[in-house]
Structure 1
């Protein structure tokens, strides 16, 4: 009878700028010509590419010899099968953690920052020289975890979308979004540039921009089981109102029913290609998700 499988480290990356250039232009020479015409140097792009792969190599060498490990690109996340005992290691910018978060279900996440001078490191804050110790500690549940709240959009047909930062509901173009919005206390019809529902993590990004421009700030903790909603540029008319412009959602979800004949969309964390159609009559309930992003503290 075989023993239990050892833990698996799953490294998550995205293509470097250099790899994207070569994919687009086929050869280094053509990529160099493209950049030089724009007064840029391919050597600078190559240097960042080499630096990233040096960090990735060190990170992968940190995995205990008896563990399993694999690497998955961001573009393949929707086809990858994560296991409950995986330890997830995004290596890249902060957005990579948001990209992988919606595919996880409680696995610990160790974000590695390959370029602290380029990336803020809000979510990728583990130095590569601490990774070996933190991998083992994570597998043994001997680390401090931030249980970051996520946003959930549940549609009337059972489809569900989750996001670490925010969910957008609106029109896919620059046309006005028309919908009915309902909280536990009130309901009204809207014509607006759409709305977003954000977590405490997302409240520092797109939501913050909307809150500052509208002076409708909300206090959301990163681990608080609550989310906030903000309506973008609501337009008052004989048929539409603007009273429900922002609010905090704790126990009851925000319910939105589409009044758009076509072009209505819902998408998460700015990934528009993963949009769900939200046309006339469809209803979505938006709230804090049951699952969280389990982010390992890097100390």
Structure 2
């Protein structure tokens, strides 16, 4: 059984802790402590989290160093890092760091490690630091199970593109309404809304679920105030419209799901094409009508975005690649 390469290169992705981030803001640990405790929070929790994470990083470097060449990479450098085809990527979580790394990979296996199991649930972090000595050799020998993850892709007509592991957001940077033209399966609609969310199977229990659950709750509330047709609408929302909000979709689900947030019907805009599936043969096409501050970002990372202003066309589709999570 072949290994991944003659030189085993391991990329260890880490993040800043809350303590590190707040010290950057307030210059010293003492000033950060004063600020946190003045607000009534427990600063010792910041200290404990930072200590546990630093210990996990040190242990991971030691464990991985005995198995191959290790490169330590900070979270903020991931978007611009060039991963080698034979690299093995280890992410020292939380879950969000796994998602925000996976979209920049091209079939390299990703090992999610929970640095503090007493603190984090870690849905995407099945391993602890001590597991690395057993898991990594299996990955090198391709004997470890891999779970494939469907990704979303936004591609602009100028050639730029962005991938999403959980979801894509298309809209305005601010709370100002987004204006655009939506096209899906031959249906064209002018819309004004708070933006569009496109979710993968992995992300179906996240942002998309909260939006659909909120919409169903609004309909149920309206049904209590009114009679007749509204009751039928509420029943339809609960039995049809909440899918996939009511259940966890498979991570390799072959469809994406979109929902339009707070669509506003007017003389020039409609609110009919507000929820549906994006399939392999029917991408969602959006033409921006926003003069400024139009954006597309993924997985909650607003700093890594595509500009989406007037005249730019975006095609939202299933990505040509899939994430490779080690399980």
* 1:144-223 mapped onto 2 (5 Å cutoff): 144-215=145-216, 216-219=241-244, 220-223=249-252
Q: What does residue 20 of structure 1 align with? A: 21
* 1:235 aligned residue (264, 269, 287): 264
Cα offset, 1:221, TM superposition: 2.5
Of stretches 79-88 and 91-100 in structure 1, the one that deviates more from structure 2 is: 79-88
Instruction: Give the match's secondary structure for 1:111.
Output: strand
1:153/1:160 contact within 8 Å kept: yes
Q: CA contact under 8 A between 2:202 and 2:251: conserved in structure 1? A: yes
Structure 2 residue aligned with 1:280: 310
Question: Counterpart of 1:76?
Answer: 77
Match of 1:224 in 2: 253
Q: CA deviation at 1:64?
A: 5.7
Residues 110-158 of structure 1, C-alpha deviations (whole Å, 9 max, x = no match): 1111122322211112122221111111122111111011110010000
Give the secondary structure class of the aligned counterpart of 2:321: strand
The farther-off stretch of 178-187 and 39-48 is 39-48
Deviation sequence 1:230-255 (CA, Å, 0-9, x none):
11111111211111111111122100
1:99 is matched with which residue?
Answer: 100
Query: Would the aligned equivalents of 1:153 and 1:284 in 2 still touch at CA under 8 Å?
Result: yes
- Measured in 2, the distance between the counterparts of 1:66 and 1:170 equals 45
Distance 1:106 1:40 in 2: 42
1:64–1:132 contact (8 Å) kept in structure 2: no
Alpha-carbon separation, structure 2, partners of 1:21 and 1:41: 14
Secondary structure of the corresponding residue to residue 135 of structure 1? helix
Which one is further off, 256-265 or 199-208? 256-265
TM-score norm. by structure 2 comes to 0.86
Q: Secondary structure at the match of 1:12?
A: strand
Asked whether 1:294 is paired with 2:319, we answer no
- Between 213-222 and 269-278, the greater mean CA deviation after superposition: 213-222
Q: Distance in 2 between matches of 1:29 and 1:254?
A: 51
Offset from partner CA, 1:173-216 (integer Å, 9 cap, x none): 11111111111141111111110111011111111111112243
Task: Rate the CA distance shift 1:279–1:64 in 2: closer, same or farther, 3 A.
Answer: closer
Q: Shift in Å at residue 66 of structure 1?
A: 5.1
Task: Note if contact 2:67-2:137 (Cα within 8 Å) is conserved in structure 1.
Answer: no
Structure 1 residue ranges without an equivalent (≥5): none
Deviation at 1:22, TM superposition (A): 2.2
Q: d(CA) in 2 for partners of 1:127 and 1:203?
A: 26
Structure 2 CA distance for partners of 1:35 and 1:66, relative to 1, 3 Å: closer
Gap regions ≥5 residues in structure 2:
217-240
- 1:23 aligned counterpart, secondary structure: helix
Could you state the TM-score of these two structures normalised by the residue count of structure 1?
0.94
Residues 1:46 and 2:47 are matched in the alignment: yes
Distance 1:141 1:277 in 2: 39
Contact 1:218 1:248 in 2 (8 A): no
